[in-house]
Amino acid sequence: MTAATAIGETIEFLAASLETDNVPDWDVGVHDLLEMVIDLISEGDAEGLHAFYAAVERFRSTVHVPIAMADIAPQLQVLTTLLSLAAVRPGQKQTEELALREQKILRVLDDAGTPLDNSQLASRSGHDQAVVSRALRQLRAAGLVTAHRDWRRKLNQLTDKGREIVDAMAGPENVREHLSVFLAKLLEADARPADVWAIAHKAGVKIESVLVSKRNSGVTDVEVDIANWRISVPGESDQQARFQLAKGLARLAALAEFPISAPKGEHADLPLTPMAHALPLWQGSRQDAVFESICTSALLMPELPTTLLYLKCGDVLQVADAFKVTEDRAVERLQQLGLHQPTIVVSQDDPQPEPFPKSSLH
Amino acid sequence: MTSSPADLFLSLWATIEADKASLDLTMPPTFDANLKRVARSLVQAEPFDMERAVQWTAADPIRALVVAQAIDNYYAPLSEGSKVVHLPTGLRQARRRLRRDGWLANVIHGGSVILRRPLSGRWSDPAMAVPEGEGAAAFFDTLLVAPPTVEATSPDDPSQPSQVSLRFLSCRPDQVRLPPTTSWKVGLAPVTQELCDLAISNGSHGRFTCYDSVAADLTNRIFTIVQALCEAGCHLIAFPEMALSPATLDALKAAVAIHGPNSQLMLVLAGSTPTHLPGADRPFNRSCTLNHRGEVLFSQDKLARWNLTTSTCDRYGLDGSSGMLMEHIEVGTELVVAELPGLGRFATLICEDLGRTQPGSWIRKNLLLDLQFTPVMDSDLHFERWSAIDGSRAAYEGGCRVLVASSLPLSLMQNDANAARSIDIKVEHPGIGLFFDRIEEGVRGLQIKTHSAGSEPIYEVVEWDPSTWNDLNIT
């Protein structure tokens, strides 16, 4: 079963559920789609991800959401935003193109400090030898690793270019910084410090202190001190630690329940948020796998605070204010993130329903 | 509607159940390899050809078991949590059905085919459950058949069997919040905590003398309790039997809707409420399970009445002069087993239903419950009493967790009755909750007492941490 077939079949299922206004089917279909993208990300399957993104974009550009199912719009938006952000990786271009397993092998070689043969690399990276051989072929072709024979053993070592790439990969400190920023933004978004403690605790992140002080001007200063940020995974490498941290990030994002628009339903006047409905889609079975995979997307989106803030308030001026930048700068940044037109239009009783606006995301 | 291998499994189940005596558990490994290969190819064919599979199976009785085991094996990736992107189309569709409905087969009048291990995670360790060891289930690792009805003891006579229908349902991930990865915090509140909070009155109904228990409308108290328990970080909040009037239940839903979304709250086990339905002479004793938004996920009616003997009436100072006092309720005819994402299988057995052997024992052993909730209206809960004996046995045989919650008026009534009869026994700090959890070869339990009294809202917050509890003997 190829990823493209599975994706195509699920998209068809989603389209059918839309045609019949079948909300439960739509819910499980979106859940499947989310888990698929998460699986693809965690496997570093770039080809599958591209196929996924193309399929979802096609779907999004042609689908007509009936007014009866208007509340699915935020879900679709979350999905496409997540995908688009997952497709944009930070760091040098060449790092972006490396799948996670290749990055791990580079990291293992760098950590070892001495040349390693294939079996050593396999045992230290946790991949089997066939995967390591395939990855090494790519790395050698890219000029990041060289191999030489020592008696009967074929030893691999990093080239200078390979070392540069390892250095360019986001280090633990960067991730820690991202987490601080993210938590700070959580607090700015009126999450109570107690909530942040609880959320971080759930994510396995220990927070030493959260300091919130309000200035007379009404601006809130937030200082979050995070310690013990490495979530324990026996024998983990820095790479794994970063993933574990990013997993925490994604979990924080999921639990924070950032609002996108006014909630529907009988409790409309209560502090409920549509994200509370959309994000629990991530909270289904195999939670470890789900979060482990969402982590990767979180790792790949240092812009998460900006994105979530924008999704929350939907107003450039508020983003500019939150980040203490000019309006032009905020617009520029949001455009870079492909978020200058985030609103999904839900057609009314129009005989020629207006399709969703095409995303400018890549 | 197209047929799936699960439909065939359901139809084969009855055959295997009938033939189980002649089927040797050691036989499957010695089956002809070719037989197994054909069975596998029939089951894995896409699209699944039900007619062809039935024809092949009908030719030889032993093929029923081989094909059923091939079907069981076919669905194994769902239990193992294989990545959805790699699942064949048929399994992906089956997974959707499980997530949406909770069962696999399209035809459900002959029972529901479900996964032995819930799709959406378990709270307990299934290995802890005492296996049935008999019946068709013993031949399979992945699938179970939940029949449409299960045997129960009669609502009024424990010696008589009756039948209740079994309803298996699945809550979607968007309905229920993610469970905590760390230990659970459980909030317990008696709600009815003073004598004046509960009225128990006798009345004559036909040839029977019955009693009604009616709780006061304690809406303000319930708001305070819910807010406090949400702020204390509770994941579960449990209330006792008949402690919530219909008005209090409405207040509870509203309070949860306000405080639940901004807390860690996952479920509210709303004890029980007298629920009047059109056409019924008597109210149902109904327990609702709410999510963190205060929405009712499902409800369960009490299946057996708690009828009071003269000595029980004496114990609580009730008028038992006219003989047995019958509980004035309509009994339920359906048992709900719900699959909750991340938590596993859950059922509520109200008070007397815990004391009756069936259907509790059957569902714990066969459906592998993860959590059983039992709201009771009883005096001081402690380890020597029926609720502890039956609760610990339930935890042992089901490998599950059992949570019993009680209110306070009956303890106060018993104290008064003792004083009136010059019996020098007074319970100062009644037990309002009992927790049980299966640990390896035994069961551990915790008694939760309240040290508060009076009209201030009483509640207790307890962590579910069996490592600190008492070891209990299972009798």
The predicted model gives A13-42 an average pLDDT of 74
The predicted model gives B303-321 an average pLDDT of 90
The 3-class secondary structure across chain A, one letter per residue, is CCHHHHHHHHHHHHHHHHHCCCHHHHHHHHHHHHHHHHHHHHHCCHHHHHHHHHHHHHHHHHCCCCHHHHHHHHHHHHHHHHHHHHHCCCCCHHHHHCCHHHHHHHHHHHHHCCCEEHHHHHHHHCCCHHHHHHHHHHHHHCCCEEEEEECCEEEEEECHHHHHHHHHCCCHHHHHHHHHHHHHHHHHCCCCHHHHHHHHHHCCCEEEEEEEEECCCCCEEEEEEEECCCCCCCCCCHHHHHHHHHHHHHHHHHHHCCCCCCCCCCCCCCCCCHHHHHHHHHCCCCHHHHHHHHHHHHHCCCCHHHHHHHHHHCCHHHHHHHHCCCHHHHHHHHHHCCCCCCCCCCCCCCCCCCCCCCCCCC
Virtual torsion, Cα B392, B394, B400, B405, nearest 10 deg: -70
**Over chain B, what is the mean pLDDT?**
87
The CA distance from A267 to A265, in Å, is 6
Q: pLDDT at position B181, please? A: 64
Alpha helices in B21-133 (DSSP H): 33-44, 50-58, 61-74, 76-80, 89-100
Q: pLDDT at position B128, please? A: 67
Q: pLDDT at position A70, please? A: 42
Alpha helices in B209-359 (DSSP H): 219-231, 246-259, 310-316, 352-355
**Interface residues of chain B, partner chain A, Cβ below 8 Å:** 81, 83-89, 92, 95-96, 99-100, 119-121, 172-174, 176-178, 180-182, 233, 257-258, 261-262, 264, 293-294, 341-342
Identify from B44, B46, B82, B83 which residue to disrupt to test chain A contact, counting A C-beta atoms within 10 A and taking the largest count.
Answer: B83
Q: Could you say which residues from 49 to 108 on chain A have a Cβ atom under 8 Å away from some Cβ of chain B?
A: none
Q: Structure pTM?
A: 0.65
Closest chain A residue to the Cα of B80, Cα to Cα: A286
Least Cα separation, residue A75 to chain B (angstroms): 11
Residue B85 to residue A204, Cβ atoms within 8 A: no
Q: pLDDT at position A315, please? A: 62
* A186 shares contact with chain B (CB less than 8 Å): no
Dihedrals φ, ψ of B16, to 5°?
A: -70, -40
Cβ contacts of A25 on chain B, cutoff 8 Å: 96, 100
List Cα–Cα distances, B159 to A54, B156, B358, in angstroms. 65, 9, 11
Segment among B217-221, B299-303, B347-351, B471-475 with least mean pLDDT: B471-475
Residue A36 to residue B85, Cβ atoms within 8 A: yes
Q: Best-predicted range by mean pLDDT among A103-107, A202-206, B288-292?
A: B288-292
Percent share of chain A, pLDDT over 70: 29
Q: pLDDT at position B347, please? A: 95
Peptide bond before residue B274 is cis, with ω within 30 degrees of 0:
no
The predicted model gives B30-55 an average pLDDT of 84
Q: pLDDT at position A163, please? A: 81
User: Which of A195, A202, A284 faces B173 most closely, judged by CB atoms?
Assistant: A284
Residue B99 to residue A31, Cβ atoms within 8 A: yes
Which residues contact residue A175 at a Cβ distance below 8 angstroms, ignoring those fewer than 6 apart? Answer: A229, A242, A245, A246, A299
Closest chain A residue to the Cα of B99, Cα to Cα: A28
* A8 shares contact with chain B (CB less than 8 Å): no
Contact indicator for A31, B173 with CB cutoff of 8 Å: yes
* A276 shares contact with chain B (CB less than 8 Å): yes
Q: Could you say which residues from 228 to 257 on chain A have a Cβ atom under 8 Å away from some Cβ of chain B?
A: 254-255, 257
Cβ contacts of A195 on chain B, cutoff 8 Å: 262
Segment among A217-231, A253-267, B216-230, B260-274 with least mean pLDDT: A253-267
Least Cα separation, residue B60 to chain A (angstroms): 33
Q: Which residue, chain included where needed, has tokens 């089997």?
A: A128
| HSE-CB of B143 using CA atoms within 13 angstroms | 28
Choose between A183 and A88: higher pLDDT.
Answer: A183
**Over chain A, what is the mean pLDDT?**
54
Amino acid present at A230: R
B183 pLDDT higher than 90: no
Dump pLDDT digits (tens) for B142-166.
Answer: 898 888 888 888 877 777 788 899 8
This model of the complex carries an ipTM of 0.72
Query: Please, what sign has the CA dihedral across residues B224, B226, B230, B233?
Result: positive
CATH of domain B151-472: 3.60.110.10
Q: pLDDT at position A231, please? A: 27
Segment among A25-29, B251-255, B282-286, B287-291 with least mean pLDDT: A25-29
User: Which of A25, A272, A283 faces B261 most closely, judged by CB atoms?
Assistant: A272
User: Both tokens of residue B283?
Assistant: 């109210």
User: Both tokens of residue B128?
Assistant: 């802890």
Choose between B51 and A197: higher pLDDT.
Answer: B51
Dump pLDDT digits (tens) for B186-239.
Answer: 999 999 999 999 999 888 877 788 999 999 989 889 999 999 999 999 999 999
Q: Best-predicted range by mean pLDDT among A158-167, A252-261, A276-285?
A: A158-167
Query: Please, what sign has the CA dihedral across residues B177, B179, B183, B185?
Result: positive
User: Which of B174, B177, B258 faces A281 most closely, judged by CB atoms?
Assistant: B174
User: Which of B85, B99, B172 faces A39 most closely, judged by CB atoms?
Assistant: B85
Q: CA gyration radius for chain A?
A: 22
Closest CA to B164 of B368, B363, B387: B363
Q: Which helix (H) or strand (E) element contains residue B416?
A: helix B409-420
Quickly state the pLDDT bin for A2 (edges 50, 70, 90): confident
Residue A39 to residue B86, Cβ atoms within 8 A: yes
Which residues contact residue A15 at a Cβ distance below 8 angstroms, ignoring those fewer than 6 apart? Answer: A59, A63
Percent share of chain B, pLDDT over 90: 41
Residue A10 to residue B92, Cβ atoms within 8 A: yes
Q: pLDDT at position A329, please? A: 61
The CA distance from A359 to B196, in Å, is 64
Q: pLDDT at position A190, please? A: 44
A268 pLDDT higher than 80: no
Identify from A9, A12, A28 which residue to disrupt to test chain B contact, counting B C-beta atoms within 10 A and taking the largest count.
Answer: A28
Least Cα separation, residue B401 to chain A (angstroms): 20
Q: Best-predicted range by mean pLDDT among A224-238, B173-187, B369-383?
A: B369-383
Q: pLDDT at position A332, please? A: 62
Dump pLDDT digits (tens) for A110-153.
Answer: 878 788 988 888 887 777 788 788 888 888 888 889 988 877 77
The CA distance from B369 to B437, in Å, is 12
Domains plus CATH for chain A?
A: 94-168 (1.10.10.10), 172-307 (no CATH)
Listed by start position, the domains of chain B span 5-146, 151-472
B97 pLDDT higher than 80: yes
Residue A276 to residue B81, Cβ atoms within 8 A: no
Dump pLDDT digits (tens) for A38-66.
Answer: 677 666 666 777 777 677 667 766 655 44
List Cα–Cα distances, B475 to A279, B356, B382, B384, in angstroms. 46, 15, 16, 11
3-class DSSP state for residue B82?
coil
The CA distance from B401 to B165, in Å, is 23
Q: pLDDT at position A84, please? A: 40
Identify from A13, A286, A290, A291 which residue to disrupt to test chain B contact, counting B C-beta atoms within 10 A and taking the largest count.
Answer: A286
The predicted model gives B399-427 an average pLDDT of 92
Q: pLDDT at position A217, please? A: 42
B94 pLDDT higher than 70: yes
Q: pLDDT at position B131, please? A: 56
Closest CA to B373 of B292, B272, B470: B272
